[in-house]
């Protein structure tokens, strides 16, 4: 017997969810030395980098960055700059544990080189009828004279490489400082640095009908806020809140992704638990799942925004109770949840400084005790 979810109440994304603590632990120099060297500089030619891209050593995956958006005119100007021997800005990349290279800053330029050397577009260097003819306009790489082909291939690129051994928060801090495009969220950065079975699992979970129905589609996929919430479920479920330390949510979520990548054989079972939890929360709390409005006495009350800290506890703590037990104690579980929301200390723990160790422990301890009392 399963707990059915109602997929009919899908809604558009709401305001930013509550219960998110965007503050970071004390800055540079506390968790890692101020003068530590996490970035090294290396020179590569365009042809060397394109060769590595073709060999899948470089990750040019718009799924974890952004869709490739440069128009052909911009790509053409980049190629023209190489032919004119104009020095190019530096590139920032990061080493992944599996040896691949993730592009931190320079995705548009590296993708342009890859596309042009592979013959994917012709140069557009004349943009108006009144402009004089450009000798390279309309030419693909193979159409260029050999000396110009070699000039492009031999163009020197300066790469700043983020060391794989850098502390997780140092990686995110550096990533955040150097990215020159539209700002990436911390979850998008993690998706880049831990690209593999774990990030694919998060993507699949975020697109599952059970998660979409229970969350009401209220977490933004574009900024990966949906995957961040699920990443938190994975961290607290797999590692346990007792392993959460120093109030560093970034480190905790990164540790979970690393664990998932190293234990990919566990992910099918994790999917079963996550799906069951989403169904249970939906069945119990209807459209108020993971929202403070679940404390109301009617499912027809106006619902509040999704609370990420509430998602932490109820997604994790209901994952291991079987369907029959949940159905038999449904009313008691709903009452317990309502009482929790009304408890000042619990409410405070899901509202303020939610990443602090004290608040995490408080909400898990109180919620676990309340749920276990129901099943005594």
- Grouping H, G, I as helix, E, B as strand and the rest as coil, residue 217 is coil
The C-alpha atoms of residue 280 and residue 278 are separated, in whole angstroms, by 5
User: For residue 233, what are the contacts with CB-CB under 8 A and spacing of at least 6?
Assistant: 274, 277, 311, 312, 315, 316
pLDDT of residue 5: 42
The C-alpha atoms of residue 303 and residue 144 are separated, in whole angstroms, by 62
| Cβ–Cβ < 8 Å for 316, 237 | yes
- Grouping H, G, I as helix, E, B as strand and the rest as coil, residue 369 is helix
272 CB burial (10 A radius; 0-12, 13-18, 19+)? exposed
Question: How far is residue 159 from each of residues 54, 76, 114, 196, 212, measured CA to CA in Å?
Answer: 18, 21, 16, 23, 40
pLDDT of residue 29: 47
Question: How far is residue 39 from each of residues 25, 46, 104, 159, measured CA to CA in Å?
Answer: 22, 21, 12, 10
pLDDT of residue 216: 95
The C-alpha atoms of residue 2 and residue 323 are separated, in whole angstroms, by 7
pLDDT of residue 25: 55
pLDDT of residue 28: 46
The C-alpha atoms of residue 289 and residue 305 are separated, in whole angstroms, by 10
Token pair listed for 149: 């082909």
User: For residue 231, what are the contacts with CB-CB under 8 A and spacing of at least 6?
Assistant: 187, 190, 202, 253, 256, 257
pTM above 0.85, yes or no: no
Write phi, then psi, for 43 (nearest 5 degrees).
-105, 135
Q: What is the pLDDT along the chain (376 residues), one digit of tens a residue?
A: 355 544 434 344 456 788 887 766 544 445 666 566 688 899 999 999 999 999 989 887 645 445 567 899 999 999 999 999 999 999 988 888 778 888 878 888 999 999 999 999 999 987 666 677 889 999 999 999 999 999 999 999 999 998 888 877 777 877 777 766 666 788 988 888 888 899 999 999 999 999 999 999 999 998 899 999 999 999 999 999 999 988 889 999 999 999 999 999 999 999 999 999 999 999 999 999 999 999 886 666 788 999 999 999 999 999 999 999 999 999 999 999 999 999 999 999 999 999 999 999 999 999 999 999 998 7
Buried b vs exposed e over 335-367: b needs ≥16 C-beta within 10 Å? ebbeebbeeeebbebbbeebbbeebbebbbebb
**Order of strands across the sheet with 91-95?**
39-45, 156-162, 91-95, 101-105, 58-59
């Amino acid at each position: 017997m399963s707990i059915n979810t109602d997929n009919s109440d899908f809604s558009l994304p709401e305001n930013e969810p509550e219960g998110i603590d965007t503050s970071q632990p004390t800055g540079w120099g506390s968790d890692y030395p101020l003068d530590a060297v996490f970035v090294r500089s290396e020179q590569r030619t365009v042809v060397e980098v394109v060769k590595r891209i073709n060999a899948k050593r470089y990750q040019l995956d718009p799924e974890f960055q952004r869709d490739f958006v440069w128009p052909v005119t911009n790509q053409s100007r980049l190629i023209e700059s190489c032919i004119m021997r104009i020095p190019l800005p530096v590139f920032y990349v990061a080493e992944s544990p599996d040896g691949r290279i993730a592009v931190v800053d320079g995705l548009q330029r590296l993708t342009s080189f890859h596309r042009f050397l592979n013959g994917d577009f012709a140069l557009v260097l004349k943009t108006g009828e009144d402009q004089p003819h450009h000798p390279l306009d309309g030419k693909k790489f193979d159409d260029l004279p050999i000396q110009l082909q070699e000039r492009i291939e031999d163009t020197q690129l300066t790469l700043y490489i983020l060391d794989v051994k850098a502390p997780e928060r140092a990686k995110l801090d550096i990533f955040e400082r150097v990215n020159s495009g539209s700002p990436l969220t911390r979850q998008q950065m993690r998706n880049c640095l831990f690209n593999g079975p774990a990030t694919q699992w998060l993507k699949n979970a975020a697109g599952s009908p059970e998660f979409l129905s229970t969350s009401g589609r209220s977490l933004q996929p574009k900024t990966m806020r949906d995957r961040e919430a699920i990443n938190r479920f994975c961290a607290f479920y797999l590692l346990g809140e007792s392993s959460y330390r120093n109030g560093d949510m970034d480190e905790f979520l990164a540790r979970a992704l690393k664990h998932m990548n190293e234990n990919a054989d566990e992910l099918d079972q994790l999917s079963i638990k996550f799906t069951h939890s989403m169904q249970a929360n939906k069945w119990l709390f209807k459209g108020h799942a993971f929202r403070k409005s679940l404390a109301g006495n009617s499912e027809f009350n106006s619902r509040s925004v999704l609370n990420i800290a509430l998602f932490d506890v109820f997604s994790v703590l209901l994952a291991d109770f079987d369907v029959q037990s949940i159905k038999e104690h449904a009313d008691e579980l709903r009452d317990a949840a309502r009482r929790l929301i009304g408890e000042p200390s619990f409410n405070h723990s899901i509202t303020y400084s939610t990443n602090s160790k004290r608040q995490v422990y408080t909400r898990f301890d109180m919620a676990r005790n309340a749920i276990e009392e129901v099943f005594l």
